[in-house]
Amino acid sequence: MFDKLLAMQAHFDEISQKLSDPEVIADRTQYASLMKEHKTLTPIMEVFAQYKSAREEFAEAKGILDSESDPELCEMAQMQYDDSKDRIAALEQELKLLLLPKDPNDDKSVIIEIRSGVGGEEASLFANSVFRMYSMYAEAHRWKLEILNASPTELGGYKEISFSVEGEGAYSRLKYESGVHRVQRVPETESQGRIQTSAVTVAVLPEADEVELEINPTDLKIDVFRSSGAGGQHINKTESAVRITHLPTGLVVECQDERSQHKNKDKAMKVLRARLFEEMQREQNDRIASERKSQVGSGDRSERIRTYNFPQGRMTDHRISLTLYRLEAIMNGDLDEIIDALATADQAAKLAGQE
DSSP string, 170-236: HHHHHGGG-EEEEEEE--TT-SS---EEEEEEEEEEE---TTT----GGGEEEEEE---SSS-TTTT
Residues 120-165 have pLDDT tens digits of 899 999 999 999 999 999 999 999 998 988 889 988 899 999 999 9
Give me the pLDDT at residue 290, please: 44
Asked whether 166 and 146 are in contact (CB, 8 A), the reply is yes
Rounded to the nearest 5°, which phi and psi values hold at 193?
75, 25
Q: What is the pLDDT of residues 182-210, one digit of tens each?
A: 999 988 766 677 888 999 999 998 887 65
CA angle 82, 85, 87 (to 5 degrees): 110
Q: How confident is the model at residue 228 (pLDDT cuts 50, 70, 90)?
A: low
- Average confidence score pLDDT of the chain: 84
Q: At residue 237, does pLDDT exceed 90?
A: no
Burial of 85 (0-12, 13-18, 19+ CB in 10 A): middle
pLDDT > 70 fraction of the chain, expressed in percent and rounded: 87
Average pLDDT, integer, range 85-91: 92
> What's the pLDDT tens digit per position in 34-86?
998 898 899 899 999 999 999 999 999 999 888 877 888 888 999 999 999 99
The pLDDT, as a whole number, for residue 283 is: 66
Residue 94 makes CB contacts below 8 A (sequence gap 6+) with 47
Q: Which domains does the chain have, with CATH numbers?
A: 2-98 (no CATH), 110-211+294-354 (3.30.70.1660), 217-284 (3.30.160.20)
Task: Answer whether residue 98 shows pLDDT above 50.
Answer: yes
Confidence (pTM): 0.68
Q: Are 287 and 275 in contact (CB under 8 A)?
A: no
Q: What is the pLDDT of residue 102?
A: 78
Which residues are within 8 A (CB) of 192 and not within 5 positions of it... i.e. 6 or more apart? none
Least confident of 22-26, 235-239, 255-259, 333-337: 235-239
**Distance between CA atoms of residues 44 and 93, nearest Å:** 12
Q: How many residues does the chain have?
A: 355
Rounded Cα gap, residues 182 and 123, in angstroms: 9
290 vs 5, more confident: 5
Residue 276: pLDDT above 90? no
